[in-house]
Amino acid sequence: MTASRTPATPGESLGQQSVKPRLVARARRPVTVSVQGVDTSTGDPVTRPARAPRALLVAAFDSQLKWAAHLGSELRERGFECRYVAPRERVALSKDQVRAAGADQVDLVWKDEILDLALDVDVVVLALAGPQVRHFTLDLTERMAAEPRQEPAPVVVAGWVGVIIEKITAGYLDRSGADVVAVNARHELDHFREVARRLEIDPGNLLLSGLPILSTSPRPQPSAPVRTVLFADQPTVPDTAADRLYVYRRLAAYARRHPDRRVLLKPRHRQGEDTFHRMHHHPEELLSGDALPSNFTVDYRPVPQLLGETDLLVTMSSTACLEAVDHGVRVALVLDLGVHERYGNHVFLDSGLLRTFDQLEVDDIGTPSAAWVDSWFGGRSVTPAQAVVDRVEKLLATGERPSLAAMTSPYQQGALELHRARLSGEVPEPPGPWARRRRRHGLVKGTALQLGIWLVPPAALKPLKKWRNQRRIKKL
Higher pLDDT, 276 or 252: 252
* Distance, CA of 172 to CA of 396 (rounded, Å): 23
Higher pLDDT, 132 or 274: 132
Report the CATH number at residue 201: 3.40.50.2000
The confidence band for 473, taking pLDDT boundaries of 50, 70 and 90, is: low
* Distance, CA of 169 to CA of 455 (rounded, Å): 36
Q: What is the mean pLDDT of residues 255-271?
A: 89
The confidence band for 450, taking pLDDT boundaries of 50, 70 and 90, is: confident
pTM comes to 0.78
Q: Is residue 428 assigned to a domain?
A: no
Same domain (yes/no): 325, 457: no
Same domain (yes/no): 94, 36: yes
> Nearest Cα to 268, choosing from 297, 243, 301?
301
Same domain (yes/no): 294, 206: no
Three-class SS state of 279: coil
Cβ 244 vs Cβ 238: under 8 Å: yes
Q: Is residue 340 assigned to a domain?
A: yes
Same domain (yes/no): 69, 109: yes
Q: Is residue 53 assigned to a domain?
A: yes
* Distance, CA of 122 to CA of 140 (rounded, Å): 14
Same domain (yes/no): 56, 201: yes
Count of helix runs (H) and strand runs (E) in the chain: 18, 16
What's the chain's average pLDDT? 85
Q: Is residue 6 assigned to a domain?
A: no
For residue range 55-69, what is the model confidence (pLDDT) as tens digits? 999 999 988 999 999
Same domain (yes/no): 146, 202: yes
Same domain (yes/no): 131, 181: yes
Other Cβ atoms within 10 Å of 152 Cβ, number = 16
* Distance, CA of 433 to CA of 431 (rounded, Å): 7
Same domain (yes/no): 450, 354: no
Percent of the chain with pLDDT over 70: 82
Q: What is the mean pLDDT of residues 402-419?
A: 94
Cβ-Cβ contacts under 8 Å for 44 (sequence gap 6 or more) = 38
* Structure confidence at residue 3 (pLDDT): 40
Q: Is residue 312 assigned to a domain?
A: yes
How buried is 287 (Cβ within 10 angstroms: 0-12 exposed, 13-18 middle, 19+ buried)? buried
The confidence band for 42, taking pLDDT boundaries of 50, 70 and 90, is: low
* Structure confidence at residue 18 (pLDDT): 32
How buried is 33 (Cβ within 10 angstroms: 0-12 exposed, 13-18 middle, 19+ buried)? exposed
What is the number of domains present in the chain?
A: 3
Q: Residue 238: is the preceding peptide bond cis (ω within 30°)?
A: yes
For residue range 179-208, what is the model confidence (pLDDT) as tens digits? 999 999 999 999 999 999 999 999 999 999
How buried is 238 (Cβ within 10 angstroms: 0-12 exposed, 13-18 middle, 19+ buried)? buried
**Range of the structural domain that residue 264 is part of:** 228-376
Same domain (yes/no): 288, 188: no
Q: Is residue 98 assigned to a domain?
A: yes
